[in-house]
Amino acid sequence: MTADLFESVAEVLPSRQAMAEGAVLLRGFARPAEAGLLAALRQIEAQAPFRRMFTPGGHQMSVAMTNCGCCGWVTDASGYRYDGADPESGNPWPAMPAAFRDLAEAAAREAGFAGFAPDACLINRYEPGARMSLHQDRDEKDFAAPIVSVSLGLPAIFLFGGLKRTDRPQRYRLEHGDVVVWGGPSRLSFHGVAPLADGEHPALARRRINLTFRKAR
């Protein structure tokens, strides 16, 4: 009785939060897929370990990254780009697992972007203190496709600004299983992540993992 009541309340609670035109936060959307996502993540990590890359300006990023799919986002002294091979190993990036692709497509559809076909997934790993400064995602070929961003593990404060770097960002607390989808008029919005607070997550310990799905090519 109590459980049924809880489920019927959960269904009507606002799990969808509009952030801006074209940007929506789907709270808990990835939770049913959690086990499959974490299993696939472990396999990717074994083939293409997380590493902290260097910006073209020579600063080492606090966030560690890896990729899967056709091509991976990389940064080094020569710039930002998508590369078909992992520069650490020379091997192609691991293929995009079905569990990843299915979730990204479903979230995009839920957000009004039916037909999204991601070919690349950048995987970010934050440990306490790691942050990402305000940036635009603009290394993809086609800005008509949205980006789907999945948060796992420790909560983080996501900073979501406007089309100008100087637009004051809004702050959203992203928790385990939350998914942000943005595209259309928001596709080039500035965004970032505040320094990760320490904590302990049951599945991911002292880490936050973010999967960002793109159509890169």
Residues near ligand MD6, by CB under 6 A: 124, 132, 137, 147, 149, 158, 180, 182, 191, 193, 210, 212
Residue with Cβ nearer ligand MD6 (70 or 211): 211
Q: Which does 105 bind (CB under 5 to 8 A by kind): ligand MD6, Fe ion, none?
A: none
- Give the whole-angstrom CA distance, residue 147 versus residue 129: 25
Q: Is 172 helix (H, G, I), strand (E, B) or coil?
A: strand
Shorter beta-carbon distance to ligand MD6: residue 109 or 135: 135
| Residue 105 is a binding residue for Fe ion (CB under 5 A) | no
- Residue closer to Fe ion by CB (options 105, 137) is 137
Nearer to Fe ion, 86 or 137 (CB): 137
- Other C-beta atoms lying within 10 Å of the C-beta of residue 56: 11
Stretch that binds Fe ion, among 2-10, 77-85, 92-100, 134-142 (CB under 5 A): 134-142
Query: Is there a contact between 156 and 191 (Cβ–Cβ < 8 Å)?
Result: no
Q: Which does 147 bind (CB under 5 to 8 A by kind): ligand MD6, Fe ion, none?
A: ligand MD6
Distance of closest approach, residue 1 Cβ to ligand MD6, in angstroms = 39
Distance CA 199, CA 207 (A): 8
Angle between helices 34-47 and 98-110 (to 10 degrees): 130
Query: Rounded to the nearest whole angstrom, what is the least distance from the CB of residue 191 to Fe ion in the complex?
Result: 6
Q: Which of residues 155-214 bind Fe ion (CB under 5 A)?
A: none
Beta-carbon contacts of residue 83 (< 8 Å; ≥ 6 apart): 71, 72, 74
By CB under 5 A, tell whether 137 contacts Fe ion. Answer: yes
DSSP string, 175-190: -TT-EEEE-GGGTT--
Closer residue to ligand MD6 (CB): 61 or 99: 61
Picked from ligand MD6, Fe ion, none, the partner binding residue 124 (CB below 5 to 8 A depending on kind) is ligand MD6
CA distances, 178 to each of 4, 149, 153, 158, 166 (Å):
23, 8, 10, 11, 27
User: Least CB distance from residue 200 to Fe ion, whole Å?
Assistant: 26
Which position has the token pair 């801006």? Answer: 20
Binding site for Fe ion (CB under 5 A): 137
